[in-house]
Structure 1
Amino acid sequence: MAPIYKVAVIQLYPKPMQPAQNFAKAANFIRSVASQGAQLAVLPEYHLTNWIPKDPGFLELARQWETYLGWYKDLAKEVGICIVPGTIVELHQGEGDLGERLLNVAYFIDGSGEVVGKYVKKNLWGPERDHLTGSGRDVHEVFDTPLGKVGMLICWDLAFPEAFRELIAQGAKLIIVPTFWTLKDCNEKGLALNPSAEALFLDSMLTARAFENTCAIVFANAGGPPGRGYAGLSQVVVPFVGALTRLGSCAEGVSVVDVDMQICEDAEDNYQVRSDLARHDWHYDYRHSGEKGRL
């Protein structure tokens, strides 16, 4: 039988430009779920600073990324569980004359405080492209962790099934997705048709990705004060069942849930997705550029 993992999804409100305060709140949540036996805690994207790239102090906070990462490494070692601390925005000096680059980075930290996985956001949401540098054509990597083979994606990556395909083709069965997705990420025409369009997008997409990849997904989104457009809906999703747990639309909160990975194996027995991808004669062997290559 496949293992059962106890996973905590944490939905919190990232107070703008307050990394120390946001970390303290996150740490309290993590200590609480660790006491409940959680093996993994996942936080939202931008949870330390919120997303305010035009604020004059934002770049200065991004220079301190190593400090923030150190906080979480120490915390993971203290509580003895794995932590994905949402994302950390990092300011790096580019090579040559490229100047400084802002990266949006997710880390997987194990219970001994060691980083065993790192992912730089690839698919940037429109407004992010004026500020962030994506990971471009870098291959989506899979990491060996205490919870088996794990892949990480970030927010808008959800919209690209190719990202999931690259991960499950390498053996990932658990996909972790820190997110900062709001109801206001929809244009006026879409909101006029359905003010909750983005919630529908998230619920539908997470369910579809779990089914079509026979994998489990841990999705941690930001919540916030009512009326400000926060979408919330943090959840853990598996095929056959859908959401094992699903937090509300905006309030902060946490949920600890048992994720029976046998569900993914049973779904694979039924749908044969991963086995098809592994076949030597699998016919979807292209990229959208037209170049041949394994997805």
Structure 2
Amino acid sequence: MSSIVKVSIIQLYPVPLEPEHNFNKAANFIRAAAAQGADLAVLPEYHLTGWKPNDASFLAAIEKCKPYLDKYRALAKECKICIVPGTIIESHKESPKEEDKLLNTCYFIDHAGHLTGKYIKKNLWGPERAHLTGSGRDVHQVFDTPIGKAGLLICWDLAFPEAFRELIAQGAKIVIVPTFWTLKDCNEAGLARNPASEALFLDSLLTARAFENTCAVVFANAGGPPGEGYAGLSQVTVPFVGPLTKLGSSAEGMSVVDVDMRILEDAEENYGVRADLARDDWHYDYRHGGKGTH
């Protein structure tokens, strides 16, 4: 396997409640990324529907999303590219008598169209909790993929270093984070102090997570029209360097960047994070579930 992984981050503006339109736009970006030799394309959270949970058409739009996972699998096979299709909201019930639960779900699709990984958002942002069901105490999982060992997180999971530690302890080298994070996710008190508070939050978190876990972080956020509060800032971040590429604060777009995976080995040699996690006497082992591999 080459040490170079070519990654595409796709920053979309999801037209609310229009999954077919949003899929077609995403597919065009993915084909363009594949034409540039990308090994992986990553889309934002809620990219098919946007986030309009109180709209009367929201549940109907979710139902319309059911075929799109298979469409992305076919697209991955056609273009010979791995795809993380942002997130897709899925309805689920454990018994006929139970009400449907809405799950914010992320998949890793390999270049042959196979489902290699699946993750249901664990750490729900405050307004999501009235509508979605999280994955609770389910363990974060790492997946073997054509680009190496990878883990999936979603949006607000970024704020929890424990989520990264659980993945790193299992050997993840790339953590992929589809996101729908806006500048308006800050309260009035914070915005009064810094109108760009959420942009500072994102840039700081992404750089810190890459350094403190000796991993690459692939972050694809939604973009949108200026003045509507979209944060954008989609980026691929690695230790030593920080962002290898970063998109603007709001506009749609795509970037393809080479990630030299050897930088992660160099960072680990310097910081020894994974080595510490694997020690028998590691003093935080009760937090991440035991010994890791690296």
Take 2:62 and 2:290, find their aligned partners in 1: how far apart are those partners? 35
Any conservation in 2 of the 1:59–1:91 contact (CA below 8 Å)?
no
Any conservation in 1 of the 2:216–2:238 contact (CA below 8 Å)?
yes
Residue 269 of structure 2 corresponds to 269
Equivalent position to 1:294, from 278, 290, 293 = 290
1:155 matched to 2:155? yes
Take 1:66 and 1:116, find their aligned partners in 2: how far apart are those partners? 18
Take 1:98 and 1:156, find their aligned partners in 2: how far apart are those partners? 28
Any conservation in 2 of the 1:63–1:92 contact (CA below 8 Å)?
no
Change (3 A) 1:166 1:293: closer
1:249 matched to 2:249? yes
Take 1:94 and 1:129, find their aligned partners in 2: how far apart are those partners? 19
Deviates more, 1:195-204 or 1:58-67: 58-67
Residue 140 of structure 2 corresponds to 140
Take 1:147 and 1:138, find their aligned partners in 2: how far apart are those partners? 25
Report SS of the residue matched to 2:184.
coil
Any conservation in 1 of the 2:19–2:64 contact (CA below 8 Å)?
no
Q: For 1:13-59, what per-residue CA distance to the aligned partner results, in whole angstroms no more than 9, with x for missing partners?
A: 00000100000000000000100000000000000000001112211
Take 2:97 and 2:213, find their aligned partners in 1: how far apart are those partners? 41
Residue 219 of structure 1 corresponds to 219
Aligned length: 291
Structure 1: 5+ residue stretches without partners = none
Take 1:95 and 1:103, find their aligned partners in 2: how far apart are those partners? 16
Take 1:188 and 1:265, find their aligned partners in 2: how far apart are those partners? 42
Deviates more, 1:58-67 or 1:254-263: 58-67
Residue 102 of structure 1 corresponds to 102
Residue 181 of structure 2 corresponds to 181
Structure 2: 5+ residue stretches without partners = none
Identity of aligned residues (%): 72
Take 2:209 and 2:280, find their aligned partners in 1: how far apart are those partners? 23
Q: Superposition RMSD on alpha carbons, in Å? A: 1.4
Residue 10 of structure 1 corresponds to 10
User: How far did 1:2 drift?
Assistant: 6.8
Residue 206 of structure 1 corresponds to 206
1:40 matched to 2:37? no
Take 2:17 and 2:216, find their aligned partners in 1: how far apart are those partners? 32
Residue 196 of structure 2 corresponds to 196
Any conservation in 1 of the 2:33–2:256 contact (CA below 8 Å)?
yes
Take 1:113 and 1:66, find their aligned partners in 2: how far apart are those partners? 16
Take 1:293 and 1:205, find their aligned partners in 2: how far apart are those partners? 23
Take 1:67 and 1:177, find their aligned partners in 2: how far apart are those partners? 23
User: How far did 1:286 drift?
Assistant: 2.8
